[in-house]
Amino acid sequence: MDINAIIQSIYASSAEIILLLFACALLLAPLVSPKANSKLIAYLSILAIIVAAVANVCSSQNTLTYNEMFILDPSALFFKRLFYLTTILVILLSIDYLRQKRLWQSEYYVFLLFALCGMMLMVSGTDLLSVYVGIELVALATYILSGFLRHQTDSTEAALKYVILGALSSAILLYGISLLYGLTGTTQLQHIAMALSKTDIEDPALILAITFVFAGFGFKIAAVPFHMWQPDVYQGAPTPITAFLSVGPKIAGFAVLLRVFLYGFAEQQVLWSQLITVIAIVTMAIGSLVALVQTNIKRLLAYSSISHVGFILLGFLTSPAEGFNAILFYLFVYAFMNLGAFAVIIALYSHNSANEEIDDYTGLAHSHPWLASAMALFMFALAGIPPTAGFFAKFNIIMVLLSQQHIVLAVLAVIFSVISAYYYIRVVLLMFMKPAQQPFTPVLSAPVLIALATTATVTLGLGLFPSLLIDIIRLSSP
Amino acid sequence: MEIMNLPLLSLLIALPLVGALSLIIIPSPTATRWITLGFVTADLLLAALLLWLFDGNSHQMQFRETLVWVPALNIYYKLGVDGFSILFIFLTALVGWVCVVASWRAIQQRVRQFMASLLVMQALMLGVFCALDLFLFYIFWEAMLIPMYLIIGVWGGENRFYATLKFFLYTLAGSVFFLIGVVVLYFAGDNSFDIQKLSQQSYSLELQRWLFIAFFIGFAVKVPMFPFHTWLPDAHVEAPTAGSIILAGVLLKMGAYGFIRFSLPILPDASYFFAPMMAILSVIAIIYGGFLALAQDDLKKLVAYSSISHMGFVTLGLFMFNSQGIKGAVLQMFNHGIVTSALFLMVGFIYERTHSRSIAFYGGLMKLLPVYTTCFAIFVLASMALPGTNAFIGELFVLAGTFISMPLFGGLAVIGAALSAIYLLSMYKRIALGPVNNPKLEAISDINVREFSAIASLLVFIFWIGLHPLPFIGLIDASIEELLRQIAPVTSTSITETSLVSHSLMSYRGG
């Protein structure tokens, strides 16, 4: 590796490097200056993300760097930008929540930056090992973040469960990678694809390898049957971290799946499409049916996100180009509508009442019609009712499914989305149609309002003008 | 003409939306009511202007507007009206106006949100009738669920949660199948959502049958046809008066409109194939709905079941494939919108005074409320299709069409017509005639000017169509001829002169 290649590699990964440097500096900041309180660190973290975003614009694109382990291609860039936005929103949502929880440790934001860095590495990795490093970086940071409320048993329990199951999933993933290495002699995705094109598709070792790799990623995106950790972690983790987990690492997991399966294993689609078909259907079914009986809103959103995962997985069963566009659209919209719903939950959190039961939302519309309307918008979006962006996201997936004649899958998908509509609109029913049982004291500070306004605008705006996003995605597709 | 160049249809849809937005800054309930009234009146006038400008001699889509919406998927913002839609646009605007007047005093809580919901609802309903792009149509069609869900759920009666959830889920479940049909059609029809383009192509019978079933589920829930009707009585009973009027007046028409706009012209062969099934379900709805209405004590339930029965005539007429049947069905849709809205309005007015919908609660109202009972009598007679009223014309045409194509079903439908006379007259007798038994009724007052204005606006059309239906038939004639031409391209020449018999057609088309 000559000096030119090194410079080019650093150049391509400048955003990641900037973020890491910032994160380390912010970790030390409170030691150096007592003035650096956690609020300042939060704003500095946002600054770091913005600087990284600017660095992305300047860096060279589409060249394989770091010995073919890293690439900054349009799709990676798309995901990175989405991560910047979601992380900034999560930081905005965290500021007042942490104040309410009386948590002053500024490491919280540093770990968020580390997690962001890991996600960026995941979407840029072109080698299973660099992807794995990204996954571990995200995992380690989020283990700590979900156990951040260390005086609360459910938070520690969540973190412990997450660590154990996360370690298990990493082991499974590594096993799958090692099998692939045994088959092909490489972990670089393009080389794997080339080597596999000569391998017999019926080779049991290949089937095993693909299954293990999928299982490893399945934990990250919480597809059934690898979803067990999710409801507990979602419920126990601090709410902004739940919001982060539900969008950031999950979307990064999908980005990896897209790169590995739609491009790396493209020729083996017959093989893994059966696997994904079954998993997608079961995921949608479990997600939407179990959500029906939830009483905690964070658990409800956990199961709702599981059913969304099932829906998105359906996009893998179509032609790579079309499926790619539909999945990207869905992920983008999903990030914003889900963050929006969590923003409302966080706004309603107050020190004396957590307001995390679904029944706590009863009658919200009477005292806070705008907040309730925003929540209703996100609920209708998650349910996929037009004119919200959630509808167009589902519509795109249905379109690509039907373009490949997957009529049964499309019918199943819409049936499960009708079932899941029940629990979303039940929240609306409680908010709008029943009298209030308690006085609400939502925290509507400027950062929370900015987050709410952004998510609501995107959720409604992309429903009315979906071509704005479609055009961007078309440019990002490889 | 300058006025023709304006985007009139967009204006028609935008006006209520602007009204709903403007309500955000209006604090007082009274001002809210007046401003809402202003917007719906302006919309009604605009609809009347459209009706006046509409050229009834042409079957072409008029007042067309096209804008690119989502170029990647060939989705356009495309609006236009023909003879069918112009009627329903006017009906929607009229019913919207009546709703605002009817809710003037009935809604006392959260007036602003209510009026905003009504206005949004009206905009979306108008959008459904104007849309010429299937995707746009679906957006309007589905988005209507949200305001309607709120109208029933927030301002409804005791059992509103159950009713509104049932309404929402039934309709949603129906529409998602319609959506799948729409997307399949998109791929079959050369990647287009354009309704006119889609109806010019021909599809294989196999595909048409599947699509017909998918569309049928979506539309039949909305109409509602037997056996998808069970949400309707619940929704009607729990909805506030304005909600019931919108439901009965416009929402139910959308299912039938869907059959006219999509099933018949785009899937003609499947329509022939399923016509016997449609006729059987329609007749079941007519008779079964009639018997159910006979057994009700709740006034709103009675009208709701009578709606199911009367909408049966619409679906029956549509699938007779002759000009009488379709003409009758369209007229019946319009008439049913007027008459049933009027009946719900009357029930709403009396409910505001007594807070009871039970028929047994009343008696002898004739002595206490002479004006009210007279108007009520006219509406009841119109609902049972007495000659001279509008419903008579519609049902007559439907029955004429049915006796041409499927005489047996015509005979059965007559039973339903007779039943409607029984339940409506006995209801009227128990409410208005006889002695006043209930002391609570003594103090109630007759209708005031505001209420009468709502009644009068509907009364006009009952007699106008009843006595001089030609202008209305003139509006739809050209479109019906065009529709029949689309259904049967092979025999297009003979259709315009005489009715056609479906059997002979089937043999022409080889199946």
Distance in Å from the first CA to the final CA of chain B: 48
Q: Is A292 in CB contact (< 8 Å) with chain B?
A: no
CB-based contacts of A160-169 (< 8 A; 24+ apart in sequence): A161/A229, A161/A232, A161/A233, A162/A229, A162/A233, A165/A219, A165/A228, A165/A229, A166/A139, A166/A219, A166/A229, A168/A219, A169/A215, A169/A216, A169/A218, A169/A219, A169/A220, A169/A226
B173 closest CB neighbour out of A380, A418, A434? A418
Predicted TM-score (pTM) of this structure: 0.91
Q: Which amino acid, one-letter code, is at B91?
A: L
* Size (chain A), residues: 478
> Contacts of residue B73 in chain A, CB cutoff 8 Å?
399, 470
Hey, are the CB atoms on B73 and A402 less than 8 Å from each other? no
- Residues A358 and A425: their CA atoms lie apart, in Å, by 12
Give tens-digit pLDDT for B87-144: 999 999 999 999 999 888 888 888 888 999 999 999 999 999 999 999 999 999 999 9
The per-residue pLDDT for range B198-253, each reduced to its tens digit, is 888 888 888 999 999 999 999 999 888 888 888 998 898 888 989 999 998 899 99
Contact check, Cβ <8 Å, A429/B173: no
pLDDT at B509 over 80: no
Q: What's residue B1's pLDDT?
A: 54
Tens digit of each residue's pLDDT (9 = 90 or more) over A151-203: 888 889 889 999 999 999 999 999 999 999 998 889 998 888 888 888 777 78
Identity of residue B496: T
Instruction: Give per-residue burial for A101-110: e unless 16+ CB within 10 Å, then b.
Output: bebeebbbbb
Task: List chain A residues with CB under 8 Å of B173.
Answer: 415, 418
Task: Report residue B119 as tokens.
Answer: 């206005």
pLDDT value of position A150:
85
Residue A272 region by backbone torsions, left for phi larger than 0, else alpha for psi between -120 and 50, else beta: alpha
pLDDT in the model for residue A134: 94
Residue B502 in this model has a pLDDT that exceeds 70? no
Q: What is the structure's pLDDT at A444?
A: 87
Tokens read off for B272: 């022939």
Subunit contact B169:A391, Cβ cutoff 8 A = no
Tokens of A117: 């860095």
Say whether residue A422 is in contact with chain B using an 8 A CB cutoff.
yes
Q: CA-CA distance, A332 to A468, in Å (whole number)?
A: 12
Chain A contacts of B176, Cβ < 8 Å? Answer: 414-415, 417-418
The pLDDT, as a whole number, for residue B64 is 86
Give the pLDDT band of residue B356 (cuts 50, 70, 90). Answer: confident
Strand pairing partners for A127?
A188
Please determine, for residue B505, whether its predicted confidence score (pLDDT) is greater than 70: no
What residues does each domain of chain B span?
283-477
Nearest to A438 by CA among A343, A366, A346: A366
Chain A residue at shortest CA distance from B167: A422
Chain B contact residues (CB < 8 Å to A): 69-73, 113, 138-139, 142-143, 145-146, 149-150, 153-154, 160-161, 164-165, 168-169, 172-173, 176-177, 179-180, 183-184, 186-187
Tell if the CB–CB gap between B146 and A380 is shorter than 8 Å.
yes
Taking alpha carbons only, the member of B180, B163, B251 closest to residue B216 is B180
Q: Are residues B394 and B312 in contact, defined by beta-carbon separation less than 8 angstroms?
A: no
d(CA B101, CA B108): 13
Query: Is the peptide bond prior to B227 cis by the omega test (within 30 degrees of 0)?
Result: yes
Q: The tokens 């007027």 sit on which residue?
A: B338
**Average pLDDT taken over every residue of chain B:** 87
Question: Each residue of B448-499: pLDDT tens digit?
Answer: 888 889 899 999 999 898 888 888 888 888 888 888 888 875 444 444 444 4
Q: What is the pLDDT of residues B389-423, one digit of tens each?
A: 888 888 989 999 999 888 888 888 888 888 999 99
What are the pLDDT digits (tens) for B304-333? 999 999 999 999 999 988 888 999 999 999
Find tokens 């950062």 and name the residue. A447
Alpha-carbon distance A465 to B444, whole Å? 53
Residue A343's pLDDT is 94
Is the Cβ pair B183, A398 closer than 8 Å? yes
Q: Which two tokens stand for residue A182?
A: 């045994």
Using alpha carbons, list the distances in angstroms from residue A159 to A146, A166, A169, A242: 5, 10, 15, 12
Q: List the Cα angle A163/A167/A170 in 5-degree steps.
A: 140
Tell me, rounded to whole angstroms, the distance of Cα A462 from its chain centroid.
19
Residue type, B115: M
Report CB contact under 8 Å: B150, A387.
Answer: no
Rounded mean pLDDT, B337-361:
89
User: pLDDT at position B506, please?
Assistant: 40
Strand B62-70 with A70-71, pairing = unpaired
Buried b (16+ CB within 10 A) or exposed e, B254-288: bbbbbbbbbbbbbbbbbbbbbbeebbebbbbbbbb
Q: How far is B168 from chain A (nearest CA, A)?
A: 9
DSSP per position, A61-125 = -S-EETTTTEE--HHHHHHHHHHHHHHHHHHHHHHHHHHHHT---THHHHHHHHHHHHHHHHHHB
Confidence of residue B435 (pLDDT cuts 50, 70, 90): confident
Residues in contact with B41: Cβ distance below 8 Å, sequence separation at least 6, in sequence order: B97
Residues of chain B found within 8 Å of residue A391, distances taken between Cβ atoms: 139, 142
Q: CB of A425 within 8 Å of any CB in chain B?
A: yes
Instruction: Determine whether the interchain pair A407/B183 forms a contact, defined as Cβ–Cβ distance below 8 Å.
Output: no
CA dihedral A54, A59, A63, A68 (to 10 degrees): -80
For A398, which of B168, B169, B180 is closest by C-beta distance? B180
For chain A, list residues with pLDDT below 50: none
Residue ranges covered by each domain of chain A: 268-478
Residue of A399, A402, A469, A475 to mutate for B, most B C-beta atoms under 10 A = A402
Dump pLDDT digits (tens) for B147-174. 999 999 888 888 888 999 999 999 999 9
- The alpha carbon of residue A62 is apart from the nearest alpha carbon of chain B, in Å, by 25
Tell me what pLDDT residue B2 has: 64
B176 with A417: Cβ contact below 8 A: yes
CA B325 to chain centre: 17
pLDDT at res. B119: 93
Instruction: Please check the confidence at residue B41 and state whether its pLDDT lies above 90.
Output: yes
Instruction: Identify the sign of the CA torsion B373, B376, B378, B380.
Output: negative
Q: What is the reported pLDDT for B104?
A: 87
Nearest Cα neighbor of B246 from B177, B376, B328, B152 is B152
The reported pLDDT for the residue numbered B471 is: 86
Dmax (CA) of chain A: 71
Whether a cis peptide bond, with omega within 30° of 0, leads into A387 is yes
For chain B, say whether A385 makes contact (Cβ under 8 Å).
yes
Tokens of A128: 């299973």
Contact A143/A160 with Cβ under 8 angstroms? no
Contact B153 A369 (CB under 8 A): no
User: Residue B147 and residue B150: Cα distance in Å, rounded?
Assistant: 5
